[in-house]
Structure 1
Amino acid sequence: MIIDYGATPPIPGLSLGDGSHLANYRRVYATSEKAAARGQVELGQWFQNRDDAGIGLTVIKARDVETTFGGRVTNEAVAKTVAAYPDQFIGFAGVDPNKGMIAVRELEHAIRDLGLKGLNLQCFENRLAVDDRRMYPLYAKCIELDIPVNIHVGINFSLQSSPDFGRPEMLDRVMCDFPELRVCAAPPGWPWVQELLAVAWRHPNLWIGLVAMRPKLLNVENSGYGPLLQYGRTILKDRMMVGTAWPMQPMKRVIEEVRALPVETDIADAWLGGNARRFLGLRSPDIETSRG
C-alpha cells in the first residue's frame, strides 16, 4: 500500500487561514500548484485523484504558529478528519514550542485523548532552531509517548522567517541528545542535502521525507538532490519516505516520478509505503480501506 507522507485534503479546518507569511510559496510553487488544481478540487474528486494515484493512506498534520504568525490548524480538526474517514488518514499533532508547558500538555492531550499518532514541528514558522532549548521538552514527551516527530528541514521560502532554522547540523545535536527520538526530516534538506545525509548516516532513528519537491529532480544533474538518490537506494534505502504535499503537487505525478527513477522496484515500494509503515508504527501489513 502506498502511504502519502504529507498532504492537505480540501477539508474545512485543515488550512492555515490567510497564511500571508507563506505568500512567497505561492510564487515558487505556482506552476506545480496549477497542475494540482489548487483551490479547484472538491473532496470527492480529491479522493478519486488519490485512488488514481494508488494511494491508500494519507498523513495529515496539524500546525500551531499562533505566537509568531497568528495561525493554527488545530489538533481537534485533524482528529475530527481522521474520525470521519477511518483508515483513510493518520493524523499528526501540531503544537507551538513558544508556548512552553502549554504545548507539552497539548501534545499529550492530542495523543492520549484525540488519538493522533505523531508530532509535526514547522520550526521556521515558529522562528525556532531545531535544537532550541524550547523544543527539548517536546522531544522528551515524544519519547515518553512513543511517537515520531516530523521536523521541517531545509530551505523555506517565507520571507518572514530565516532559512537558517532548517539547517540539518542542528538536527544532529538533537539526535545526539535524544538517540531514542524517531524523526523524519522533511523536506529533504536542500540546499544542505549532503549535510542531512551525513546526519542520517550517523543516526539510525532519522528518516528522510521526500516531500514538497519533485521526485524526478533526484535524477536531474546539478539539481542538488542527486545524493539523495545514491544514498536512498543504498545505505539509507530503508529510511526514505515520499509525500505528495498536495495541493503543492499533483498526487499521481509524484508517484509516477518515483516509479520512473533508476531504483529497484522493491526499493521504490519501500519509499512509497514500507518505510513509512515502520516509521509510523503501523502493525498490520495491510490496512482495509473504506470511506463509509
Structure 2
Amino acid sequence: MIIDFGATPPIKTLSLGDGSHLANYRRVYASSEKDAARGETTLEQWFANVDAAGIDLTVIKARDVETTFGGRVTNEAVAEVVAAHPGRFLGFAGVDPNKGMTAVRELEYAVRELGLKGLNLQCFENQLAIDDRRMYPLYAKCVELDIPVNIHVGVNFSLKSSPDFGRPEMLDRVLCDFPELRAIASPPGWPWVPELLAVAWRHPNLWIGLVAMRPKLMAVENSGYGPLMQYGRTVLKDRMIVGTAWPMQPMDRVLDEVRQLPIEDDIAARWLGGNARTFLQL
C-alpha cells in the first residue's frame, strides 16, 4: 500500500486563497511546480495520475491562519472531500492556536463529528514556536482523542515569518512534556536535519515526513539531506514517511526517486506506506 502523506488535489475549497504570505514559495518551487502541472488541471486528470503512480491513499490537510494571514482551508471542506471520494483520502484538521479554547473545541468537533483523523499545525504561519504554551492545549487534546499531529519542522520560505519557528529542539521539549503524543515532523527539518534525527532517536513517538523535498537529495553529497537516508535505513527505518507535496512536485517523480535511492526494497516499502499505516493506525 502506498500512502501519500501530503498533497493538495485541484479542488477549489482546498486552496488557502490569497496566500500572499507564501509568495516566496512560488519562486523557490517554480520549476518543480511547473513540472507537476503536466496535464493535471482537473480532478479527473489528477486521479488518473494518482492511479498511474500506484498511490492508494492521500492525506489532505486543513489549515487555519486567520488571525495572522487571514486564510483558511476549513475542516468542513476537507471532510466533504473525504466523504465525496470514499477510500481515496484521509483528512487532517486545521485549527488556529491563537484562538485559544475555540481552537481546542474546533479540533474536537472536527474529529468527533466530521471524522477527521489528525491535526495539521503549520506553526510558522501561526507565528508561534512549536513549544509555545498556546500550543499545549492542542497537544493535550490530540493525546485525549488519540490522533496524530503533523508539525512543520525546518526552514520556511515565507518572507513574512521567521525560520526559527521550525527549529527541531522546540519539538524535543514538546515530546518531553507529551510522551504519548503521536507526532510527525514534516518537512524533515532542513537545514537542521541532524538535530531532528537526534530528537527522533530520543523519542519513539516521533516520525519524520519526507515531504516538500527531492528524495534524490538524500544521496547527494553536501545537500544537507544525507543523514536522513543513513538513519532512515537503520535506527529510524520504521519512522520515515513520504509525501509528494503535490502540486509542489510531480507525484510520480517523488516515488521514483525514493525507489532509486541506494536503500533496500523493504526499506522503500516502509517509507512509501508501511510506516504511514502504523503512524495513522490504519
TM-score by length of 2: 0.99
Residue 83 (str. 1) matches residue 83 (str. 2): yes
Aligned residue in 2 for 1:162:
162
Shift of 1:200: 0.2
Aligned residue in 2 for 1:141:
141
Aligned residue in 2 for 1:287:
none
Shift of 1:39: 9.2
Sort the Cα spacing of 1:76 and 1:38 in 2 relative to 1 into closer, same or farther, 3 A.
farther
Residue 128 (str. 1) matches residue 128 (str. 2): yes
Aligned residue in 1 for 2:264:
264
Aligned residue in 1 for 2:59:
59
Shift of 1:38: 7.5
- The amino acid that maps onto 2:50 is R
Give unpaired runs (5+ residues) of structure 1: 283-292
Sort the Cα spacing of 1:39 and 1:74 in 2 relative to 1 into closer, same or farther, 3 A.
farther
Q: Secondary structure at the match of 1:248?
A: coil
Aligned residue in 2 for 1:195:
195
Given that 1:190 and 1:225 are in contact with CA atoms closer than 8 Å, whether structure 2 keeps it comes out as: yes
Shift of 1:243: 0.2
In structure 1, C-alpha distance between the alignment counterparts of 2:22 and 2:238, rounded to whole Å: 32
Give unpaired runs (5+ residues) of structure 2: none
Aligned residue in 2 for 1:205:
205
Shift of 1:52: 1.0
Aligned residue in 1 for 2:45:
45
Q: Secondary structure at the match of 1:185?
A: strand
Given that 2:39 and 2:45 are in contact with CA atoms closer than 8 Å, whether structure 1 keeps it comes out as: no
Aligned residue in 2 for 1:274:
274
Q: Which runs of 4+ in 1 moved over 4 A?
A: none
RMSD value, Cα: 0.8
In structure 1, C-alpha distance between the alignment counterparts of 2:174 and 2:49, rounded to whole Å: 38
Shift of 1:41: 1.4
Given that 1:38 and 1:248 are in contact with CA atoms closer than 8 Å, whether structure 2 keeps it comes out as: no
Given that 1:38 and 1:247 are in contact with CA atoms closer than 8 Å, whether structure 2 keeps it comes out as: no
Aligned residue in 1 for 2:175:
175
Deviation digits for residues 137-175 of structure 1 (CA, Å, limit 9, x no counterpart): 000000000000000000000000000000000000000
Q: Percent identity?
A: 83
- The amino acid that maps onto 1:144 is E
In structure 2, C-alpha distance between the alignment counterparts of 1:23 and 1:39, rounded to whole Å: 23
